[in-house]
């Protein structure tokens, strides 16, 4: 009986040692897998962060181009308003010149009766002509500014169109890569959780085996 007991105890110790060796090997394998998964998760997180940064840069660049377009449109609107004002002033000056010429003609016709009035009318005509010249000059400058502003606006709009066309494909690609990385990250985390569950189960089995062995040794 003692020999049978000793043989059983020896077999149990061998099995326990073998199970412990298997458990250690399993734990080492799981640790290696966990380390690999953690590194993969870390790399995926880094790549995901870089993609977010690049998408943010693209968005900021689009906002800058949009701001420039708005500023160009505002400049063009101001230039067009200045041109309209100049045209209004030029038209008023031309009307004033016409009236002055009419007055001068009337004054010349009645020069014998109103030389002073004629002189005043001529001066008024000269003043009106000077105003007309200045108004026409201002109109030309306003037209040049309006043309430059419109060209700037067109260039800004063309730049925004090119940027949107160039960035649309990149944003789509980045979104696809971000989705792929999210899927890989979720799969890696799920596998890590599964390995952890298996490790806990093996530890529970080993603990149960140890308890049974202690009960067997103590005769419980």
Look at the alpha carbons of 179, 185, 188, 189 in this order and tell me if their dihedral is positive or negative.
negative
Q: Which tokens sit at 23? A: 């458990």
pLDDT the model gives residue 130: 79
Each residue's pLDDT, cut to its tens digit, for the chain (220 residues) gives: 667 766 766 777 677 777 777 778 877 888 888 888 888 888 888 888 888 888 888 888 888 888 888 888 888 888 888 888 888 888 888 888 888 788 877 767 766 665 665 566 667 777 767 777 776 787 777 677 767 767 777 776 776 667 667 666 666 776 677 677 767 767 767 776 776 677 777 667 767 766 666 665 565 5
Domains of the chain: total? 1
User: Residue 210 has what pLDDT?
Assistant: 65
156-194 as b/e, with b when 16 or more CB fall inside 10 Å?
beeebeebeeebeeebeebeeeeeebeebbeebeeebee
Under 8 Å between Cβ of 98 and 171:
no
- 55-64: long-range contacts, CB 8 A cutoff, minimum separation 24: 55/171, 55/174, 58/167, 58/170, 58/171, 61/163, 61/167, 62/160, 62/163, 62/164, 62/167
Residues with Cβ within 8 Å of 210's Cβ and at least 6 positions away in sequence, in order, are: 16
Here the tokens at position 132 are 């007309």
In this predicted structure, what is the pLDDT of residue 20? Answer: 74
- Identify the pLDDT of residue 35: 83
Provide the residue range defining the domain that includes 141: 2-218
Please give the pLDDT value at position 217.
58
The pLDDT of residue 145 = 76
DSSP, residue by residue, 143-188: HHHHHHHHHHHHHHHHHHHHHHHHHHHHHHHHHHHHHHHHHHHHHH
Angstrom CA distances, 140 to 22, 145, 154, stand at 94, 9, 21
Q: Is 51 exposed, middle or buried (0-12, 13-18, 19+ CB in 10 A)?
A: middle
CB-neighbour burial class of residue 11 (10 A; exposed 0-12, middle 13-18, buried 19+):
exposed
Question: Could you tell me if 151 and 3 are in contact, meaning their C-beta atoms sit under 8 angstroms apart?
Answer: no
């Amino acid at each position: 009986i003692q020999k049978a007991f000793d043989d059983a105890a020896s077999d149990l110790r061998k099995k326990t040692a073998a199970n412990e060796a298997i458990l250690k090997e399993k734990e080492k394998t799981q640790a290696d897998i966990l380390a690999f998964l953690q590194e993969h998760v870390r790399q995926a997180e880094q790549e995901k962060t870089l993609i977010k940064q690049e998408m943010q840069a693209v968005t900021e660049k689009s906002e800058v181009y949009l701001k420039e377009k708005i500023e160009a449109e505002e400049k063009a609107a101001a230039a067009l308003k200045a041109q309209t004002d100049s045209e209004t002033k030029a038209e008023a000056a031309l009307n004033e010149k016409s009236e002055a010429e009419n007055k001068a003609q009337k004054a010349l016709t009645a020069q014998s009766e109103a030389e002073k009035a004629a002189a005043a009318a001529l001066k008024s005509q000269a003043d009106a002509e000077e105003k007309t010249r200045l108004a026409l000059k201002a109109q030309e400058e306003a037209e040049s500014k309006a043309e430059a502003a419109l060209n700037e606006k067109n260039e800004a709009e063309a730049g925004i169109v090119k940027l949107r066309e160039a960035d649309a494909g990149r944003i789509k690609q980045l979104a696809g890569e971000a989705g792929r990385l999210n899927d890989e990250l979720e799969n890696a985390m799920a596998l890590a959780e599964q390995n952890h569950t298996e490790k806990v189960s093996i530890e529970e089995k080993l603990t149960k085996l140890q308890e049974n062995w202690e009960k067997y040794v103590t005769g419980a």
